[in-house]
Amino acid sequence: MNFNNIKKIYKVLFYLVIIISLVSCHNRNPRKIVGLTGWNSKDKSAVGFYDSKEGYRGQKAPPGMVLVEGGTFTMGQVQDDVLFDWNTTPVKQQVRSFYMDETEVTNSEYLFYLDWMEKVFPPNDINYEHIYQSAVPDTLVWRDVLGFNELLTENYLRHPGYADYPVIGVSWVQANQYCKWRTNRVNEKILMDKGVLKPLFELDSIEVKGKNHFDTDTYIENPYAMFDGDSTIYKKGLPNNIARKKGDAKPKRGDFTGRQVKVSDGILSARFRLPTEVEWEYAAKAVVEGREYNNTRGRKKYAWSGKYTRNKSKRYMGDQLANFKQGKGDYSGVPGWSNDGADITIQVKSYEPNAFGLYDMSGNVAEWVSDVYRPIIDNDANDFNYYRGNIFTKKMIDSEGKVVIADDFSVEYDTLDNGQIVPKTLPGSIKKVPVTKRDAYMRNNYEKAYNIDAKDGDLASTKFYDKDEDELEVKPRMYNSPVKPREIGESGYIMQLYDTENRTTLISNKARVYKGGSWKDREYWLDPAQRRYLPEYMATNFIGFRCVTDRIGPMTYKRRTPTTTKIRY
């Protein structure tokens, strides 16, 4: 054997040693996730997950939303508590990561919602006669007995000049209904893009009765319970990785040959909803711009850095940083100088965003949040994603053990205290009922379905704690708010009656929180920690809303950095 052959053999052996060492190091990687059953957990086809070439790459930000990375902050802590009402008692809170709309929902976006509702649930159909009207904002909120605003009453919602202005005149109830509708439209679009659903808008099926009652929960429960049972609406589906057996007929062109999407595929979007009060305040304060390592420096008074409402940069020196009322009779400043650019609301994104990339978290319009109002933050409040307003529900099951889905011919309505008629459940949606005591039996995290008034003076926290409600003529209430008489007239409508008792407060279980200052408010209310309330069925010309959706999986994919994040305006 000559020297060259020996050299080649050693060279091959050298490379083999390197390859073996690399493989052994890879197998010793402590972060590698291995199967616990002998099956390869990454083989999606083995366990019925979506088998894609990329695999699950994490959650993408929904359209028009930005990621608000969770963390800890001090909720409340108002610097100017001139009323000394302890309404914003400082409480340390942890907030989970979530996605939030960059801006408030605009007139153009809300009009798309109204157009969809009118086509799918035409008001001239007796089965749907109240559905569309229940979604229409109250345009009369602009009226004033000593003011002339009829132009706004007639044009603000629908005129293209106000298309990118925040929608107003929307009650808390209406805002919640919009969030549910948005969830279904986003997931419907996802399924069309994935080739599961046929392009519904191209087929004009949106205007065909019963054809476009897509509901996310119903789809997950039983995809073939929608679209009047018309399975041809499904196009192809996800690969089911089931080989066709020998002798089986070849599927016809256009047949649904795949499978439906499941939650475990990670394709469908999480539900859209109103933010909780904690989430909204955390997002508005954006304490991230005052971060130094794992601490925050100083206290923030506004959504931007600094303690003043005027711009300090050379180019925009003296300009207002938000749209708000600067004094009595002063909604926009002196013409040509120190002008905030608006006498009422203003086009979204007219001012710089805060450190999270969110616009108008101070000024323009105040915004609904999901919480029921109480004048203090509970001393024993949960310090992780605090929220007051939980009513735990479950799917309604019929006598045959099937999930009940609302149909076109038995739409149930509810009459709000202001007389507005709203549907309890839209056709095509799964009906829900409160959980029972049996469902909560021996649980250590909740005992009942209705938890809105928990630990705030309800029966369980009074001297009558050992009495059944049936033994008491009147259930004791901490908040002596008006009670709307519920008498049904001959026409079937609830009589318009007023509570004649002497009352000391308007706080009730239907009082919802709204946050942030508006075009109509003074500087005092621009502080994100300030909080006010209004009955959930009422609307104003200065309250709008924006949606959020939950972040699924890790808080963030970014690595920690020790640098301080600074945003200057």
Average pLDDT, the chain: 81
Q: Confirm whether 502 is domain-assigned.
A: yes
How far is Cα 233 from Cα 83, in angstroms, rounded to an integer?
59
Mean pLDDT, range 209-227, rounded to an integer: 82
How far is Cα 323 from Cα 345, in angstroms, rounded to an integer?
7
Q: Quick check: 200 and 414 in contact, CB under 8 A?
A: no
pLDDT for 289 equals 77
Mean pLDDT, range 260-288, rounded to an integer: 92
Q: Quick check: 91 and 75 in contact, CB under 8 A?
A: yes
* DSSP label at residue 238: B
Q: Confirm whether 262 is domain-assigned.
A: no
- Give the residues across from 539 on adjacent strands: none
Mean pLDDT, range 461-479, rounded to an integer: 57
Q: Confirm whether 328 is domain-assigned.
A: no
177 pLDDT tier (thresholds 50, 70, 90) = very high
Q: Taking CA 206 as the corner, what is the angle to CA 200 and CA 209, rounded to the nearest 5 degrees? A: 130
Q: Confirm whether 490 is domain-assigned.
A: yes
Q: Quick check: 377 and 85 in contact, CB under 8 A?
A: no
Closest CA to 75 of 376, 511, 507, 518: 376
Structure-token match 């119903």, residue found? 218
Q: Quick check: 470 pLDDT over 80?
A: no
pLDDT for 242 equals 67
Q: Is 501 exposed, middle or buried (0-12, 13-18, 19+ CB in 10 A)?
A: exposed
Mean pLDDT, range 318-331, rounded to an integer: 87
- The per-residue pLDDT for range 502-530, each reduced to its tens digit, is 888 888 889 999 999 999 999 889 999 99
Q: Confirm whether 219 is domain-assigned.
A: no
Contacts of 507 (CB under 8 A, 6+ apart): 373, 374, 375, 479, 481, 533
* DSSP label at residue 223: G
Measure Cα distances from 452 to 85, 183, 449 in Å. 22, 24, 9
H/E element holding 233?
none
Radius of gyration of the chain (CA): 28
Q: Which domain holds residue 471?
A: 454-508
CB count within 10 Å of CB 346 equals 22
pLDDT for 254 equals 61
Q: How many domains does the chain have?
A: 1
- The per-residue pLDDT for range 382-436, each reduced to its tens digit, is 788 899 999 999 999 999 989 999 988 888 898 888 888 999 999 989 999 999 9
How far is Cα 445 from Cα 122, in angstroms, rounded to an integer?
44
Q: Confirm whether 459 is domain-assigned.
A: yes
Q: Confirm whether 486 is domain-assigned.
A: yes
Closest CA to 207 of 92, 115, 108: 115
Q: Confirm whether 371 is domain-assigned.
A: no
pLDDT for 169 equals 97
Structure tokens at 500: 């004649």
Give Cα 148 to chain centroid, integer Å: 35
Answer left, alpha or beta for residue 247, where phi above 0 means left and psi between -120 and 50 means alpha. Answer: left
How far is Cα 108 from Cα 114, in angstroms, rounded to an integer?
10
- Give the residues across from 376 on adjacent strands: none
